Amino acid sequence: MTMAPVAAQPLQLALLHPQRTWVDSLERMLASWPGIEVVTAHTTFKWAWAAVARGAVQVVLMGLGEGYEPEHIADLRAAGHAVSVVVVSENDDEEQVTAAIRAGARGWVRPDVDPQQLVTVLHAVHDGETWIPPDLVTVVIDSLLAEDDRRSSSRQAMGTLSAREVEILDCLAQGMTRGEIGDRYLLSPHTVRTHINHVLRKLDVHSTLAAVSLANHARLPG
C-alpha cells in the first residue's frame, strides 16, 4: 500500500500593526495563501504577546513606529524564544533598522513588498535565516560593526576604573545625588567629588550623564 504524503504544517503567523486597515487587508490576503495560518491579527501588542507566550505563534510580522518600538521586539522574543520577528516599516533609518536587528528581529520588509516575496521571507526567518533588503545590508552591517567598536572602547575605558569608582558610577546611574552617595559609603562631599572627577577623566567625558551613558553602552550584550 502506498502511503499518502504527510502535509507540511502551515507556518503559524501573528500580525501586529498600529493600523487596523493594514492588519485587516494583510489578513485577508494571507488567509488563502497555502502554508500560512494567521493565528492572530491585532493592533494591540498584548494580544500578539499572549499568543507568543502560549506557544501558538512561530513568526510575528510587526509594524514598527506609531507606538511600537524595537523594545517590543525584545519583549516578544522574551515571551517565546522560538518566535521569529519580521519588521515591516517604510522608515529605512539606519539606527532604526540596526536597533530592530539588535532587539532580535530576523527580517525587515517594506510595506510595498511583493506578496510572494513576503511569504518567502516569513518562511526563511522561520527556518533560521535573516532577511534584509539588499540595499540596506551594507548599511546595517557597517552600523553593527561600528556599534561593536564603540562598545569595545567603552568596556576598555570602564576597565580603568577602580572598584570604588565603579560603585559611584553605578550610584549615579541610579539617579543618586552626591549627598546620597556620600551617606551610602560614609564619604565626605569632597571625596565623592574627587571620585566623580576621576571617573570623568578616565572615561574622557565631561559630564556625569555622559559617563552613565558610556557605562550603559559598555554593559550592552554583544
Q: Based on the fold, state whether residues 106 and 215 are members of the same structural domain.
A: no
Rg of the chain, C-alpha, whole Å: 23
Q: Based on the fold, state whether residues 113 and 180 are members of the same structural domain.
A: no
Q: How far is CA 105 from the centre of its chain?
A: 7
Domain finish residue from 106, 132, 158: 132
Q: Based on the fold, state whether residues 122 and 157 are members of the same structural domain.
A: no
41 in any annotated domain: yes
Q: How many domains does the chain have?
A: 2
Give the pLDDT of residue 38: 94
Give the pLDDT of residue 182: 92
Domain finish residue from 132, 156, 181: 132
Q: Based on the fold, state whether residues 41 and 89 are members of the same structural domain.
A: yes
Give the pLDDT of residue 185: 94
Beta carbons of 18 and 35 less than 8 angstroms apart? no
Give the pLDDT of residue 220: 46
Q: What's 106's domain CATH number?
A: 3.40.50.2300
25 in any annotated domain: yes
Identify the domain containing residue 156 by its residue range: 148-219
Give the three cell numbers for residue 100.
530592530
Q: Which residue numbers in the chain have pLDDT < 50?
A: 1-7, 220-222
Q: Based on the fold, state whether residues 122 and 168 are members of the same structural domain.
A: no
Give the pLDDT of residue 21: 93
Domain finish residue from 86, 101, 132: 132
Q: Based on the fold, state whether residues 82 and 25 are members of the same structural domain.
A: yes
Q: Based on the fold, state whether residues 81 and 163 are members of the same structural domain.
A: no
